[in-house]
Structure 1
Amino acid sequence: MDDKKVVQYPNPKNLSKGIIGIVILGLVALLAFQSFTIIPAGHRGVVLQLGAVQPKVLDEGLHLIVPFIQTVVPIEVRVQKTESDQISASRDLQTITTTIAVNYRLDSHNVNTLYQNVGLEYPSRIVDPAIGEALKAVTAQYTAEELISKRSEVSAKVKEVLAAKLSVYNMNLNEINITEFKFSEDFNRAIEQKQIAEQQALKSKLDLERIKIEKEQEITRAQAQAEALRLQKQEVTSELIKLREIEAQIKAIEKWDGKLPNVTGGATPFIDVNNVRNQ
């Protein structure tokens, strides 16, 4: 009697049950995965339920959502920076190219409203146009020279106008920095020539003031000398002259060495002293 091996095939019912079980486990895992969302640091989550924006905004961390019905759009609420060159005109119709850097952030409590009304393209749709409009509105109030001399005042006004524009869309302005005003070559040459002329005028004015002061000093010295001479003349009297003669004679006697001169002169005739001695 030959031994024959019996081949047993899997039961189709059991096989189908196994496949169904795997599919169910996969669906459960998928549902479990889709039921949670993580909002990263510096972001807020906008909840969409079947495409409709919900009023609740998700904070950072892990959150439970309804799978396949709710989706979450993370939006950054940290400080963002944009820098651009904006062209505007001054009050005296000079064309100005302004380099401006703006720091702003989204209102974390109202990112759902921003997403609903604007979307994720808010930098190009809202921020950049608002910067250009604010600059044009402010620079039109100043001449080109005033924009240079009053830069801090201009910057403060631009910040005020821009903050009002961004707040309409639930954005908060942190700071702006106007790094440079650029003017046309003709205007730059005109400014340079004006500065040179002002410096020359100032030098001429200082020279005139110096000459005037020196002249006044000379007049003052001359007046002082004239006054001194006048006082001296008033003090010269006959008694003073006699006193000065007596003082001169006293000084001459003090210097005399005790020897009579060989010849004397004066009111009397000259006398030979040697002859007198020999007689």
Structure 2
Amino acid sequence: MKDWNPANLGIIIALLVLLGLSSVVIINPGQAGVLSILGKARDGALLEGIHVKAPFISRVDVYDLTVQKFEVPAQSSTKDLQDLTARFAINFRLDATEVVEVRRKQGSLQNIVSKIIAPQTQESFKIAASRRTVEEAITQREVLKSDFDDALSKRLEKYGIIVLDTSVVDLDFSPEFAQAVEEKQIAEQRAQRAVYVAREAEQEALAEVNRAKGKAEAQRLLAETLKDQGGKLVLEKEAIEAWRQGGSQMPRVLISGSGKDGGQMPFLLNLNGDSKG
């Protein structure tokens, strides 16, 4: 053992450590791995935990299974041949049971977005937009989104991509149609205002009729009182009202008395102290 060099021990230990590290792979929670040996992907995804692999001739591609979010633009024509553009925010994740096929067919996550999600978003938007006019697409935005979601989910499912949620970030249409929509809204507002004014006038007219009916009824009752009581009470009431409303002074001479027919005969009373009888 004369020729033994301590440096050789260090080299051996380093090789053993390197061999050990290249033989083990750790998959963290929220991840899945695909084992490839000599460039060929093996069936069965590697889920979270420690896994052993052949050193130097194998590799493991790790995929993130947590929720991913990307914004994807889309453009289409509506049923009435109006241009409609949109931008969708798409939340998705990879199916852990399908990551091996994803690795074989799409490769990286960037390829999944550019080669699968983006074109399928475009096609799904065309399906949803072609079912309605541009005005319906704007006023029935939730229905448009529902049709888009259904089409996109079905198209991406076969690629091992699970759509969790989508949202319409932006929805635009041509300036000509925007002006037409604005003019229509103004016309509708004017029409609604006209209806309101007409109803208000109708209510006011009805109120006038009711007031007229009430006044007529009051006059009828007044006439009946005049007839039943010879008009005395009514005349006295009207005289008092006339004095009150006209600002007249109380008369200096008050007329009262008994008549031959059993009625009241007038007599004169001088309120200033002079009397005549």
Say whether the fold is shared (TM-score over 0.5). yes
CA-CA distance at 1:38 after TM superposition = 2.8
**Is 2:36 aligned against 1:63?**
no
* Kept in 1: contact 2:269–2:275 (CA 8 A): no
2:112 paired residue among 122, 125, 130: 122
* Kept in 1: contact 2:74–2:122 (CA 8 A): yes
CA distance change for structure 1 residues 236 and 71 in 2, over 3 Å: closer, same or farther?
same
CA distance change for structure 1 residues 255 and 207 in 2, over 3 Å: closer, same or farther?
farther
Alpha-carbon separation, structure 1, partners of 2:236 and 2:59? 128
Match for 1:159: what amino acid? D
Identity of aligned residues (%): 29
**Is 2:206 aligned against 1:216?**
yes
**Is 2:157 aligned against 1:150?**
no
Q: Which residue of 1 aligns with 2:256?
A: 249
Per-residue CA deviations over 1:181-231 (Å, capped at 9, x if unaligned) read 111111111111111111111111111221222122222222322232233
Q: Which residue of 1 aligns with 2:170?
A: 180
Larger displacement relative to structure 2 (125-134 or 113-122): 113-122
**Which secondary structure state, in structure 2, belongs to the residue aligned with residue 93 of structure 1?**
coil
CA distance change for structure 1 residues 65 and 211 in 2, over 3 Å: closer, same or farther?
same
Q: Which residue of 2 aligns with 1:193?
A: 183
**Which secondary structure state, in structure 2, belongs to the residue aligned with residue 175 of structure 1?**
strand
CA distance change for structure 1 residues 220 and 103 in 2, over 3 Å: closer, same or farther?
same
CA-CA distance at 1:40 after TM superposition = 4.3
CA-CA distance at 1:244 after TM superposition = 6.7
Give ranges in structure 1 of 5+ residues lacking alignment.
1-10, 265-279
Q: Which residue of 2 aligns with 1:271?
A: none
Match for 1:260: what amino acid? S
* Kept in 1: contact 2:72–2:121 (CA 8 A): no
RMSD (Å), alpha carbons: 3.2
**Which secondary structure state, in structure 1, belongs to the residue aligned with residue 43 of structure 2?**
strand
Q: Which residue of 1 aligns with 2:275?
A: 260
CA distance change for structure 1 residues 31 and 230 in 2, over 3 Å: closer, same or farther?
same
Q: Within 5 Å, which residues of 2 pair with 1:28-47?
A: 28-47=16-35
**Is 2:81 aligned against 1:74?**
no
Q: Which residue of 1 aligns with 2:248?
A: none
Q: Within 5 Å, which residues of 2 pair with 1:74-93?
A: 74-93=62-81
Per-residue CA deviations over 1:227-251 (Å, capped at 9, x if unaligned) read 3223322342275236778997269
Alpha-carbon separation, structure 1, partners of 2:118 and 2:29? 26
1:97 paired residue among 82, 85, 97: 85
TM-score calculated relative to the size of structure 2: 0.77
Q: Which residue of 1 aligns with 2:195?
A: 205
Alignment coverage as a number of residue pairs: 249
**Which secondary structure state, in structure 2, belongs to the residue aligned with residue 198 of structure 1?**
helix
CA distance change for structure 1 residues 254 and 100 in 2, over 3 Å: closer, same or farther?
farther
* Kept in 1: contact 2:93–2:163 (CA 8 A): yes
Larger radius of gyration: 1
Larger displacement relative to structure 2 (89-98 or 243-252): 243-252
* Kept in 1: contact 2:225–2:231 (CA 8 A): no
Larger displacement relative to structure 2 (130-139 or 153-162): 153-162
CA-CA distance at 1:126 after TM superposition = 1.0
